[in-house]
């Protein structure tokens, strides 16, 4: 196969947003306990934070971390997680049929974000709770001193306010599985009133209302419209969540998952704009794609049951294939391409639960296949996202009908002159020769071409063998007369760097 891409630095979409490279830490399975936090682990610091996980999170280039859920937050009392650890109550976590010890809470998370060098994105519970508890949490977190909640924080050891500015107004409130699930009108009113109250305390917050938990929800579209009809003036963004997986051996459809993400973003943007138009508003609502990934969805029957309420059980510990990593890389291409509308994104999740980083309690931490495209995209996407013109053959698949064999996006950093092209070859039957016309980029030279692929697209990294398949130099890449030419292997993800 062969395909061409034309890039020109004059055609920009939006700046690369660091917020595109967010991730998510939920009290789910072993994401927190024995994930980021494991006192007594050989690499743990004085706070009990695993040093091996911190190092991998830094290597991944994570920007923002959403916390504490997820479904978990809809039954969570944030007060349970502050104060002396020995006095914190154990609670049932109804979302994941587990026991929450509350040994890790708000202070521990905020300290972890500081050590990790990431920005927190905090969710309030709008399932079992509402405006008063959200205001209490905001006052506790951000009020400098003097008030009851500010003094409580200081007494608990944090003299300086946490200064959390980025907030989710609940989680997936459209889902019948969600504790305190609501209709769009009920939730829209609650989100608007919670946002209004929070802004009375701190006007400059960035607030995200819950959109649909997937574009497959029966209420998708109507939900966004009704929620924004209630909360348009109070919120900055509406969330989107999407998970993909290879189903019934249909690799072709799976590899085109980013096509669905593009369509999802366009649909939510159109709905938000329609609400804005009817209100005669000049404000644009952004999209927070705050849960996205490949997820094989262990079915609910695998959750603990009956009287079994374990602490930090092994839940949702997907072990990813090379094909999964190619799809993750392609989803990042979609998020970058949609940077004009997607103002923030969080891959779900960071450690152990549907995650790029895995750990063993007391043992090693290792990189899943999906770690690599995330880390390299976060590292090399710089400057402006460019609008690329792609001319590629198409293939038919059951899910989307017709899909392009190659997908790509490019970024251009005017300061350094660096161009990065991120490309996937979705062909399952062989390589595609990609020609990138570097029009207007000043004839840059090739710096590096890295490709992630394997003959066995279902190869999985494991603790015992996480290094056999790594991104490697693509020796076919060369620049000829202002055109970058490279062979992209079947089912592959690549980053091509020029300067
Ligand atoms: O990320 C795992 C779960 O997926 C989250 O808790 C929930 O919001 C979504 O359904």
Same domain, yes or no: 147 and 239: yes
Same domain, yes or no: 321 and 357: yes
69 pocket-lining for ligand 1 (C-beta < 6 Å): yes
Q: In this structure, is residue 6 part of a structural domain?
A: no
Confidence of residue 374 (pLDDT cuts 50, 70, 90): very high
User: Is the predicted pLDDT of residue 229 greater than 90, yes or no?
Assistant: yes
In this prediction, residue 301 carries a pLDDT of: 67
Same domain, yes or no: 52 and 155: yes
Q: Please pick, among 108, 172, 226, 418, the residue that the annotation labels catalytic.
A: 172
Q: In this structure, is residue 2 part of a structural domain?
A: no
Confidence of residue 441 (pLDDT cuts 50, 70, 90): confident
Domain that holds residue 70: 17-380
Whole-number Å distance, alpha carbon 368 to ligand 1 midpoint, is 20
Domains in the chain: how many in total?
2
CATH number at residue 347: 3.20.20.80
Same domain, yes or no: 126 and 155: yes
Per the annotation, the verdict on 291 as an active-site residue is: yes
Whole-number Å distance, alpha carbon 73 to ligand 1 midpoint, is 10
Tell me what the mean pLDDT of segment 383-390 comes to: 97
CATH number at residue 437: 2.60.40.1180
The ipTM estimated for the assembled molecules is: 0.99
Give the pLDDT confidence of 141-169 residue by residue, as tens digits.
Answer: 999 999 999 999 999 999 999 999 999 99
SS (H, E, C) the chain: CEEEEECCCCCEEEECCHHHHEEECCCCCCCCECCCECCCCCCECCCCEEHHHHHHHHHHCCCEEEECCCHHHHHCCHHHHCCCHHHCCCEEECCCCEEECCCCCHHHHHHHHHHHCCEEEEEECCCCCCHHHHHHHHHHHHCCCCCHHHHHHHHCCCCCCCCCCEEEECCCCCCCCCCCCCCHHHHHHHHHHHHHHHHHHCCCCEEEECCCCCCCCCCCCHHHHHHHHHHCCCCCEEEEEEEECCCCCCHHHHHCHHHHHHHHHHHHHHHHHHHHHHCCCCCCCEEEEEEEEECCCCCHHHCCCCCCCCECCCCCCCCCEHHHHHHHHHHHHHHHHCCCCEEEEEECCCECCCCCEEECCCCCEEECCCHHHHHHHHHHCCCEEECCEEECCEEEECCCEEEECEEEEEEEECCCCEEEEEEEECCCCCCEEEEEECCCCCCCCEEEEEEECCCCCCCECCCCCCCCCCCEECCCCEEECCEEEEEECCCEEEEEEEC
Ramachandran angles phi, psi of 418, nearest 5° = -75, 135
In this prediction, residue 298 carries a pLDDT of: 64
Whole-number Å distance, alpha carbon 210 to ligand 1 midpoint, is 12
Whole-number Å distance, alpha carbon 421 to ligand 1 midpoint, is 31
Same domain, yes or no: 450 and 483: yes
Same domain, yes or no: 161 and 231: yes
Of all protein residues, the one whose alpha carbon is nearest to atom 4 of ligand 1 is: 70
Residue that terminates a domain, selected from 332, 350, 380: 380
Same domain, yes or no: 397 and 350: no
Q: In this structure, is residue 4 part of a structural domain?
A: no
Q: In this structure, is residue 1 part of a structural domain?
A: no
Tell me what the mean pLDDT of segment 484-494 comes to: 98
> Which atom of ligand 1 approaches the CA of 172 most closely?
8
Residue that terminates a domain, selected from 380, 399, 428: 380
User: Is the predicted pLDDT of residue 188 greater than 80, yes or no?
Assistant: yes
Q: In this structure, is residue 7 part of a structural domain?
A: no
CA distance 219 to 241: 14
Same domain, yes or no: 173 and 247: yes
Q: In this structure, is residue 10 part of a structural domain?
A: no
User: Is the predicted pLDDT of residue 9 greater than 80, yes or no?
Assistant: yes
Stretch among 173-177, 346-350, 404-408, 479-483 having the lowest mean pLDDT? 479-483
Q: What's the whole-number average pLDDT of the chain? A: 97
Give the pLDDT confidence of 83-93 residue by residue, as tens digits.
Answer: 999 999 999 99
User: Is the predicted pLDDT of residue 47 greater than 80, yes or no?
Assistant: yes
Of all protein residues, the one whose alpha carbon is nearest to atom 3 of ligand 1 is: 70
In this prediction, residue 87 carries a pLDDT of: 98
Share of the chain above pLDDT 90, in %: 97
Same domain, yes or no: 59 and 88: yes
CA distance 496 to 447: 8
Q: In this structure, is residue 284 part of a structural domain?
A: yes
Tell me what the mean pLDDT of segment 219-227 comes to: 98
Same domain, yes or no: 369 and 403: no
370 pocket-lining for ligand 1 (C-beta < 6 Å): no
Same domain, yes or no: 392 and 373: no
User: Is the predicted pLDDT of residue 299 greater than 70, yes or no?
Assistant: no
Q: In this structure, is residue 9 part of a structural domain?
A: no
Of all protein residues, the one whose alpha carbon is nearest to atom 2 of ligand 1 is: 70
Same domain, yes or no: 118 and 256: yes
Residue that terminates a domain, selected from 354, 380, 406: 380
Give the pLDDT confidence of 412-425 residue by residue, as tens digits.
Answer: 999 999 999 999 99
User: Is the predicted pLDDT of residue 15 greater than 80, yes or no?
Assistant: yes
174 pocket-lining for ligand 1 (C-beta < 6 Å): no
């Amino acid at each position: 196969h062969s395909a061409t891409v034309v890039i020109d630095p004059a055609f920009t979409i939006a700046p690369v947003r660091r917020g595109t490279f967010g991730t998510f830490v939920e009290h789910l399975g072993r994401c927190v306990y024995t994930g980021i936090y494991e006192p007594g682990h050989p690499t743990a610091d004085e706070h009990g934070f695993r040093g091996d996980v911190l190092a991998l999170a830094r290597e991944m280039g994570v920007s923002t971390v959403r916390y504490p859920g997820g479904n978990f937050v809809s039954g969570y009392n944030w007060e349970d997680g502050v104060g002396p650890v020995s006095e914190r109550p154990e609670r049932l976590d109804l979302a994941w049929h587990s026991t929450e010890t509350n040994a890790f809470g708000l202070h521990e998370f905020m300290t972890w974000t500081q050590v990790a060098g990431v920005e927190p994105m905090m969710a309030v519970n709008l399932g079992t709770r509402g405006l008063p508890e959200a205001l209490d949490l905001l006052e506790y977190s951000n009020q400098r001193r003097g008030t009851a909640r500010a003094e409580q924080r200081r007494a608990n050891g944090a003299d300086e306010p946490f200064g959390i500015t980025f907030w989710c107004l609940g989680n997936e409130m459209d889902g019948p599985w969600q504790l305190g699930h609501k209709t769009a009108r009920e939730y829209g009113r609650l989100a608007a009133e919670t946002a209004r109250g929070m802004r009375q305390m701190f006007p400059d917050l960035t607030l995200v209302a819950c959109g649909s938990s997937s574009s497959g929800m029966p209420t998708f579209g109507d939900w966004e419209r009704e929620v924004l009809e209630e909360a348009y003036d109070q919120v900055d963004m509406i969330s989107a969540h999407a998970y993909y997986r290879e189903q019934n051996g249909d690799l072709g459809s799976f590899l085109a998952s980013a096509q669905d993400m593009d369509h999802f973003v366009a649909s939510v943007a159109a709905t938000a704009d329609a609400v804005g138009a009817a209100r005669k508003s000049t404000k644009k609502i952004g999209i927070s794609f705050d849960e996205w990934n490949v997820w094989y969805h262990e079915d609910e029957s695998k959750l603990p049951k009956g009287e079994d309420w374990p602490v930090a059980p092994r839940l949702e510990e997907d072990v990813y294939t090379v094909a999964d990593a190619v799809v993750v890389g392609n989803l990042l291409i979609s998020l970058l391409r949609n940077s004009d509308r997607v103002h923030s994104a969080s891959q779900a999740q960071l450690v152990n639960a549907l995650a790029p980083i895995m750990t063993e309690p007391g043992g090693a931490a290792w990189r899943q296949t999906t770690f690599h495209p995330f880390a390299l995209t976060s590292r090399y996407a710089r400057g402006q996202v460019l609008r690329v013109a792609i001319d590629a053959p198409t293939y038919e698949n059951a899910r989307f009908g017709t899909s392009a064999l190659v997908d790509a996006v490019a970024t251009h950093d005017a300061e350094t002159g660096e161009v990065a092209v991120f490309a996937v070859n979705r062909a399952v039957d062989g390589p595609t020769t990609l020609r990138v016309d570097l029009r207007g980029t000043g004839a840059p030279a090739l710096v590096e071409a890295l490709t992630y692929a394997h003959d066995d697209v279902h190869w999985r990294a494991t603790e015992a063998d996480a290094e056999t398949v790594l991104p490697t130099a693509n020796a076919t890449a060369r620049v000829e007369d202002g055109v970058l030419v490279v062979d992209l292997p079947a089912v592959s993800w690549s980053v091509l760097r020029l300067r």
